Amino acid sequence: MLHWQGGRLRLSRSRKEYLLCAAGIAVALLVALLYQVKSSQFAPIITASEASKSPEFLRGGRIAFFHDDPLEFWLAGNHSGMVSSSLLAPPALLLGLLLPVLLYYRARFPIVQKMTGAVGILSRMILASVGLFFCAHLMLFRLYLPPRYTIHSFRIALSLSAAIVSIALADAIMRWAEQRRGQGSFVLKLSAITTLVVFMAAVIFYPAFMDEFPKTRYITGSEPGLYEFFSSQPKDSLIASLSSEADNLPSFAARPVLVSREHAIPFHKGYYDQISRRASDLIRAQYTRDPGELKGFIQSYGVGFFLLDKEAFTPEYVERNRWGKTFRAAQSDALAELRRGNTPELARLLDSCKVFETDDLIVIDARRIQGLE
């Protein structure tokens, strides 16, 4: 509803724009209300002060939000900064940064003069994104993560800007060649044509020289035999694992896991309290020497299988486990047991209860453990 006219910020006089704004606000409120009702079962959202003291939100945590370096926190942090390291990938997006330069020298780029008004939508989109970015910081974490409001819109703006710059430069080269036509210089004509061809070829064909294009960041499963094995098990077979491979099982094997790092999103305290309890109980059960504690864990959660890394029962594995900083109490107890030379009950049962094995992983049937006296 706001417009910049005559050097001043003015309210719109268009009834259509007021109706459009009202409709947008109504839709936003409706979505927010539905979200609030649906998410209330997970209890309150963690506050900024609580998160700043939680290992999940510090460096190395699941959501590494808080950083000591202000530049990293506000600009480059994956969960807190305004931009990301992947913003300028693919490299062709770098052309978009030249759009302000072309607008400043618009007299030299006639095609830019024709689109000056339309280009304003890019600046408004960026301003809206930056505004929401700071609102998300002010209301942590009610509006989720601040970068979600900038990294995608910045990429869209850069893509459109890069396309505009490409067309404007190609047009400028063609105009330059046209102006030289009357001079009758074969060298000038050839250089203009060559410049245009090289420029357009660079824009169009550079993906052929990249290792990955487009860069989708899809996760590729590396254990097809394991996924096939679990896929053949009953659909309600619950898998307990501290291995990073647990992240992939719901997608690639279509079977549930008790807990995994990808599911350990710590924003809603009611949800994360359950995840934290499961992870701590799993660490203790995996490294306990007490058969009763192990069987009690299996019965309590209805575990069907354990998935173990083959190095799981070494102190080095426990020390470098990526959940170590989060569940220090359980990790410290497990590490102390291993360093004393004590063998966990689950390690003692590997040979008798193993049902599947790969080069790096072992699957233990929890039902066999329950059947042991």
Q: Where are the alpha helices (DSSP H) in 110-235?
A: 110-113, 116-138, 151-181, 186-205, 224-231
Place of tokens 């020497």: 289
DSSP state of 249: H
Q: Which two tokens stand for residue 114?
A: 């024709």
Strands 354-357 and 303-309 turn out to be: unpaired
- For residue 79, the tally of other CB atoms under 10 A from its CB is 20
Domain ranges of the chain: 1-37, 82-209, 224-371
pLDDT score of 116: 64
Which of 1.10.287, 3.40.50, 3.30.70, 2.40.33 would CATH assign to domain 224-371?
A: 3.40.50
Q: Distance between CA 14 and CA 11 in Å, rounded? A: 9
Separation CA 97–CA 88 (nearest Å): 10
What per-residue confidence (pLDDT) applies to 132?
95
pLDDT at 279: 93
Tokens at residue 265, please? Answer: 């999103």
How high is the pLDDT of residue 356?
95
| Residue recorded with tokens 């049902």 | 355
The pLDDT, as a whole number, for residue 183 is 58
- Residue 249 and residue 6: Cα distance in Å, rounded? 60
The Cα–Cα gap between 39 and 56 comes to: 20
Query: String of b and e for 120-150 (b: at least 16 CB within 10 Å)?
Result: eebeeebeebeebbeebbeebbebebbbebb
> pLDDT tens digits for 168-221?
888 887 777 776 665 556 666 677 677 778 877 877 787 777 777 777 778 888
List per-block mean pLDDT (blocks of 10 residues) for the chain, which spans 373 residues: 78 89 94 77 87 89 90 90 76 85 83 75 91 95 92 91 87 74 62 75 78 79 94 95 94 95 90 92 94 94 95 90 79 90 92 92 92 60
pTM equals 0.78
Measuring CA to CA, which residue among 366, 352, 362, 78 is closest to residue 245? 362
Angle at 267 (CA atoms; ends 264, 273), nearest 5 degrees = 60
- In one letter, which amino acid is 267? F
